[in-house]
Chains A and B, each alone.
Chain A
Amino acid sequence: MVDLLDKHKGIMERFQRMTSLGINGLGVTNDQMLSPTRAMVDGREIILAGTNNYMGITFDPRCIAAGKKALDEFGTGTTGSRIANGSFALHKELEAELASFLGLEHCIIFTTGYQANLGMLSGLAGPKDTIYLDADSHSSIYDGCTLSGAKLVRFRHNDAADLDKRLSRSEGEEGGRLVVLEGIYSMLGDRAPLKDFVELKKKHEFQLCVDDAHSFGVLGPNGRGLGDEAGLSEHVDFVIGTFSKSVGAIGGFGASNHPLFETLRYAMRPYMFTASASPASIATSIEAIKVLKAEPERRAKIWANSERLYNGLKGLGFEMGCDVVSPVVAVKIPDELTTITKWNALFQGGVYVNMAVPPGTPNRLCLLRCSVSAAHTTQEIDHIIAVFKQAFNV
């Protein structure tokens, strides 16, 4: 008999190599959360610098109160999909709140951010269509594209000229064309040069989708994401996002001004065939979006913190993941062994960051990745920099 798990033996061997050098960096257990930026792990207080808690909103008393109220009024779960069981009023309220925040007509929410990409991409494109995706796209984009059955063409990262060439190769073919970009790329922290890609719309026919998972709440004067920052929102046909980062909950969304957008509810399997998001999570998301709208100073703070951490690490001589300040602050590490060793040294110094190794990274890079929070104090940012300095003897 062929043991189905035999094919994963290589993964287990690699995992054992990684964990033999210290604690399991891929499975840290937070025994207690002390604040948006602090947790107790193995009996020690750790500064969290790798949790995507961009707006630092997870302990906001207004969000917590809204979640508790929803638990009391709507119960613990929805126990089914919105197609089969119907919606809760909270789902519709969140969709309306989010559409208003984004300045768009329509919004559909999903149970997770991963499902938002699966649902949106497989709902938008079908077997006769072509999706052009950035080579550095998140796995959920790759998986959503695969689920769509569309022809998939990968273009070089952030390279509009390369996309131009690839669009030209299939000019005149039947079917629609969808180009997928990300607001902020999760591994290196760089963002798509939207203006260059929008410019291609004059030359080629395609619809444009931006995944603002890491940029919703963060980029633009209104925190709407990449289109907002570039002043080009009207050229972005579809926006995808998540509640698990700036919104501090779990879930995802797709949004658009397209008049037929609502029909996607009956065409997206990852929307139709799963339970809808739980009441408490939806209620905290509604409140969080109100807070993001009312408190733009959170955006100012995350950018100040990002600049301090980025410049601090760059000043120590680290090779940075990208050449612009970003809330995703990644430093390049020469190899996997050094990455694991230094991740452990940072952890022993009281700082949690993300360990990122191939194939989850572009160009086989090894990275130690931080994500900055508006809730980090200046002292915490300086401490993170100091612990890097100590861990690397620089």
Chain B
Amino acid sequence: MTEIADIVPVLVDLLKPFNTENKPLTEATDIPAELNIDSVGVLDFIMEVEDHFDIEIPMNAVANIRTVGELAAYVKSKV
């Protein structure tokens, strides 16, 4: 079973192309607030996560996810 600790590094990796200011990325990183990613950028990143794990993350769910850790928990619930 995939654990959050396994998912976080994958998310951090997928987030790198969107981290234009090279901020440190951890489980606690607030994606839209700390990385200066606009709303469309967040959705583009989520698409990469969906395809990597072959899961569906509806846009409705994205509104409630802010940190890398929260996203990892969501991914864990789907894989």
B residues lining the A interface (CB < 8 Å): 38-41, 43-44, 47, 50-51, 54-56, 58-60
Chain A proximity of B15: nearest CB distance (Å): 15
**A151 touches which of B38, B40, B51, B58 (Cβ 8 Å):** B58
Contacts A/B (CB < 8 Å), 12 sampled:
A145-B59, A153-B56, A153-B58, A153-B59, A154-B47, A165-B51, A166-B50, A166-B56, A169-B56, A358-B40, A364-B38, A364-B41
Residues of B within 8 A of A135 (CB): 43-44, 47
Contact call A169/B54, Cβ cutoff below 8 A: yes
**B60 touches which of A151, A156, A169 (Cβ 8 Å):** A151
Contact call B41/A152, Cβ cutoff below 8 A: no
Say if the beta carbon of A317 comes within 8 Å of chain B: no
Residues of A within 8 A of B44 (CB): 135, 363
Q: In the complex, A195→B56 CA distance in Å? A: 25
Contact call B43/A358, Cβ cutoff below 8 A: no
**A170 touches which of B39, B56, B59 (Cβ 8 Å):** B56
Residues of B within 8 A of A130 (CB): 58
Chain A proximity of B65: nearest CB distance (Å): 14
Chain A proximity of B62: nearest CB distance (Å): 9
Given A358-B38, A359-B41, A364-B38, 15 further pairs, Cβ under 8 A = A130-B58, A135-B43, A135-B44, A152-B58, A152-B60, A153-B56, A153-B58, A154-B43, A154-B47, A154-B59, A156-B47, A166-B56, A169-B54, A170-B56, A359-B39
Contact call A362/B40, Cβ cutoff below 8 A: yes
Q: In the complex, A154→B41 CA distance in Å? A: 13
Interface 1/0s, chain A 151-165, versus B by CB < 8 A? 111101000000001
Closest to A156 in B: B47
Q: In the complex, A358→B38 CA distance in Å? A: 8
Q: In the complex, A61→B5 CA distance in Å? A: 69
Residues of B within 8 A of A154 (CB): 43, 47, 59
Closest to B46 in A: A154
Q: In the complex, A166→B77 CA distance in Å? A: 18
Residues of B within 8 A of A364 (CB): 38, 40-41
Closest to A142 in B: B59
Chain A proximity of B37: nearest CB distance (Å): 9
A residues lining the B interface (CB < 8 Å): 130, 135, 145, 151-154, 156, 165-166, 169-170, 358-359, 362-364
> What total count of A-B pairs have CB within 8 Å?
35
A359/B58 contact (C-beta < 8 A), A135-B47, A154-B47, A156-B47 known:
no
Q: In the complex, A151→B41 CA distance in Å? A: 20
Residues of B within 8 A of A145 (CB): 59
Residues of B within 8 A of A153 (CB): 56, 58-59
Q: In the complex, A249→B23 CA distance in Å? A: 48
Residues of B within 8 A of A152 (CB): 58-60
Q: In the complex, A151→B54 CA distance in Å? A: 17
Closest to B36 in A: A10
- For the complex of A and B, the 9 pairs showing the least CB-CB separation, nearest first, are A359-B38, A152-B59, A359-B40, A169-B56, A151-B58, A152-B58, A152-B60, A153-B58, A170-B56
Closest to B58 in A: A151
Q: In the complex, A156→B58 CA distance in Å? A: 14
Q: In the complex, A130→B57 CA distance in Å? A: 12
Q: In the complex, A151→B59 CA distance in Å? A: 7
Chain A proximity of B56: nearest CB distance (Å): 5
Residues of B within 8 A of A165 (CB): 51
Residues of A within 8 A of B50 (CB): 166
Q: In the complex, A153→B56 CA distance in Å? A: 8
Residues of B within 8 A of A362 (CB): 40
Q: In the complex, A364→B39 CA distance in Å? A: 11
A169/B55 contact (C-beta < 8 A), A151-B60, A154-B47 known:
yes
Chain B proximity of A381: nearest CB distance (Å): 32
Q: In the complex, A169→B39 CA distance in Å? A: 24
The CB with the most chain B CB atoms within 10 A, among A153, A154, A362, A363, is that of A154
Q: In the complex, A170→B78 CA distance in Å? A: 12
Q: In the complex, A78→B51 CA distance in Å? A: 50
Chain A proximity of B33: nearest CB distance (Å): 12
Q: In the complex, A152→B56 CA distance in Å? A: 10
